[in-house]
Amino acid sequence: MPSGRQSQLDRLKRLEKPLQNEKFALLLPPAAECAEKVLIMENLSIGYGERILAKDINLVLRCGEKAALLGANGTGKTTLLRTIL
């Protein structure tokens, strides 16, 4: 080990190991029940002004289901997410 690094280590104050183990308890309330249908979109259209990126979107996302949003650049993925938010 280079002598400069060893000098730095020698100057550090040594700490003793704690004698007792501290206990930590975290109690969280039970999660609130979720509705069966988490997201409902009926005949949704998205776009900016006169430029329609997608139209007639119909989707029902239920509790526990997963969905992926795939598409090429400029097809409205971010616009759809912003609309949902």
Q: Could you read off the pLDDT tens digit of each residue along the chain, which spans 85 residues? A: 677 888 888 888 888 887 777 787 888 888 777 789 999 999 999 998 889 999 999 999 998 899 999 999 988 899 999 999 9
Q: Select from 55, 52, 56, 77 the least CA-distant residue to 67.
A: 77
Element (H, E) at 8: helix 3-11
Q: How far is CA 28 from CA 22, 23, 34, 35, 63, in A?
A: 20, 17, 17, 21, 21
pTM: 0.56
As beta bridge partners, residue 57 has: 44
